[in-house]
Amino acid sequence: LLLLSRLMDGLDGAVARLTQPTDLGGFLDITLDFLFYAAIPLAFAVADPAQNALPAAVLLASFMGTASSFLAFAIVAAQRGITSTALPDKSFYFLGGLTEATETIAAFVAMCLWPQWFAPIAWGFAALCAITTALRIGWGCQRLK
């Protein structure tokens, strides 16, 4: 189901690019992506609170850093008319990082394949998310000066 949801997420973007992308589509895409990203660690916390609640909470907190740095830069870039020449067909311009969609899905797949390793995977991915957040803050400060 995880992989099917990501396949559908990719297909909706491809269809939008073949037709007419809309602001509503861009809004729903990122909103639903972030809700999906939060649902996976939450599900592991609910399934085994004693083992998974703390690493899931830390991972969710680290997602706050990646999400807020992603969206805050996109908002300010749009206000300033800053666009991406590398990804001109995206709904908005954003900063990359170590933990983008592909890496997040890979971590989630690993968690689902080896649920007994959820905690170490979550801790490690949370650390990578913290690095991504720090990088985005640094890059954002450089670009917006």
Domain count, the chain: 1
Strand, coil or helix: what is 21? coil
Please name the amino acid found at residue 71: L
Per the model's pLDDT, the better-predicted residue between 24 and 12 turns out to be 24
The structure's pTM equals: 0.85
Q: What is the pLDDT of residue 90?
A: 57
Is the per-residue pLDDT at 16 higher than 70?
A: yes
Distance CA 137, CA 145 (A): 12
Domain that residue 111 falls in: 2-144
Return the C-alpha torsion angle 8, 17, 103, 77, nearest 10: -130
Q: What is the pLDDT of residue 145?
A: 87
pLDDT in tens, 72-116: 988 888 888 877 655 555 565 667 788 988 899 999 999 999 999
Query: Which residues lie closer than 8 Å to 70 by C-beta, 6 or more apart?
Result: 94, 95, 136
Q: What is the pLDDT of residue 87?
A: 53
